[in-house]
Structure 1
């Protein structure tokens, strides 16, 4: 039963691109999580540079978390770090990358965000690799980033690979609904997430660790979009049968610890049989990927 730490980080806008303050604050929170017995620590999307413009020191940032994981003996899902794209012939030339580091400091997996939120398309290249799972000491893990959660096909690939735990770093805000959405409901995006995350856990017979950016501690909760960029938090862990089993108390920056018993997934697979039926349907349609292990 891993103890998962969700760091609902409230990134500060770096002065002239300097993310060192956010980096140090994130390190301190990871240390706090380790002292509380965390086995796996997660951070949100864009936790170092909210403006998504810096990439020059991406390798340094990642290696600093490798050293930290090795020192503290914890696994770390390093939110996302913006990097220069390897596909130089395309424009734009940046990619949004989530990395998973094990407790020995090894980068077990890197995932480049595939489903971009529409403003991101102006400065990010979408990833072109298939969604994949990878083995950890806690089981089979997959990573999705923010708007990926809205795409059932992203989950389907992970489901077919028998994923147990989906880690989802996000920077999902109240203002993402835009003027059209907000005129109907100023709480639209928070309400959406409250439905979306547990539903995806049920639909895909998996646990989901959703780690969103937090609002500054000084924010007045009475104003749903009044803090910087409308950060709404809502970080949580969801599993089938139970839905949300732990999470942040509010939108502000918070360190949340959740003991996650993944044995519940065995019962979910027996009761719902979503993966089993999906494989049967794809076989009938002669569309089952060759890599699927039944």
Structure 2
């Protein structure tokens, strides 16, 4: 049994580093005080750093370049929080400029022992591709921890089955799904994808969204969502596949969804469940196993 925490994270304006660092520290301390061993913040949570850019925070391109000098300091803060609190921390994502000059949406995972690695977003939304020039990453990372084998699928990535399938084949038991959506429809698309991936692969998915309005940021201006923990609908699991979801708050504020989950129980679904969706995919839907036939036209 492990205790996980997903933050329904309100985007706030912090114009000074010390104010931001105090905010993130207090937030993580609250979850750790409740016994959480794994903390998840949403996609682009790190972009709150742009509040420190003055007028440049109002420009998309200036936001990307302006936060880069702050990234090493942010990285060090997150690593220290994971170490000092003795937790595994996925502090959301932020755009990082790589050596090739391109920006990629990157999510690091930190543990008590330091950085474990990172996962870049693989599928770009229209906003990222057409307006912001944030490009896709490549490849999948698997994180072995004492809590279980973890993977990360950032927001839109959860709406596509193949990458999650590869994580399942690599033995991932819990997928972390940081998200940032500006419409109710967008939230439901990611939520539906996360639940579908849990059903198909018979693993757990933990989702953390951004909420609230940030008129000072053209990238984070409107945010809607609910944190959630999802599992396959099967023996020993909630019939709906929904372990828990956070409440919608008005006005929105940051809150943790903290839940216990037994990954051994989820594993037993793959071995003793009413259905074997994870196994049956291989038997029926691997390339070459399913042929497509054209129906004959009905006679007149």
- Give the superposed CA RMSD: 2.4
Equivalent in the alignment of 2:160: 151
**Unaligned segments of structure 2, at least 5 residues:** 49-59, 214-219, 290-300
**Aligned-partner Cα distance in 2 for 1:55–1:12:** 19
2:195 paired residue number: 198
Report if aligned partners of 1:70, 1:103 keep a CA contact under 8 Å in 2: yes
Shift of 1:20: 5.1
Indicate the residue corresponding to 1:184 in structure 2.
Answer: none
Give the aligned partner of residue 52 of structure 2: none
CA distance in 1, matches of 2:7, 2:287: 44
Question: Is structure 2 residue 41 aligned with structure 1 residue 43?
Answer: yes
Correspondences of 1:98-247 after superposition (within 5 Å) = 98-104=107-113, 106-121=114-129, 122-128=132-138, 130-174=139-183, 187-215=184-212, 229-241=221-233, 242=238, 243-247=241-245
Check the 8 A contact 2:159/2:190 in 1, yes or no.
Answer: no
**What corresponds to 1:179 in structure 2?**
none
Asked if structure 2 preserves the Cα contact closer than 8 Å seen for 1:74 and 1:102, the reply is yes
- Structure 1 or 2, whichever has the larger Rg, is 2
Structure 1 window deviating more from structure 2 (140-149 vs 113-122): it is 113-122
Supply the distance in 2 between the matched residues of 1:284 and 1:173 (Cα, whole angstroms).
36
Partner of 2:265: 264
Classify 1:103/1:259 alpha carbon distance in 2 versus 1 (closer, same or farther; 3 Å). same
1:57-88 superposed Cα distances (whole Å, 9 cap, x missing partner): 21210111111111111111121122112323
Contact kept, 8 Å, 2:5 with 2:36, in 1: the verdict is: yes
Conservation of the 8 A alpha-carbon contact between 1:207 and 1:239: yes
The structural deviation recorded for 1:152 is 1.1
Distance 1:86 1:101, change over 3 A: same
Work out whether residues 159 and 194 of structure 2, in 8 Å CA contact, stay in contact via their aligned partners in 1. no
Match of 1:79 in 2: 92
CA deviation after TM superposition for structure 1 residue 283, in Å: 7.3
Structure number with the higher helix fraction is 2
Contact kept in structure 1, 2:200 and 2:278, CA below 8 Å: no
Distance in 2 (alpha carbons) for counterparts of 1:197 and 1:19: 34
- 1:195 counterpart SS class: helix
Q: How many residues align?
A: 256
Kept in 2: contact 1:9–1:44 (CA 8 A): yes
TM-score (norm 1): 0.79
C-alpha separation in 1, matches of 2:188 and 2:47: 26
- Residue 33 (structure 1) aligns with: 31
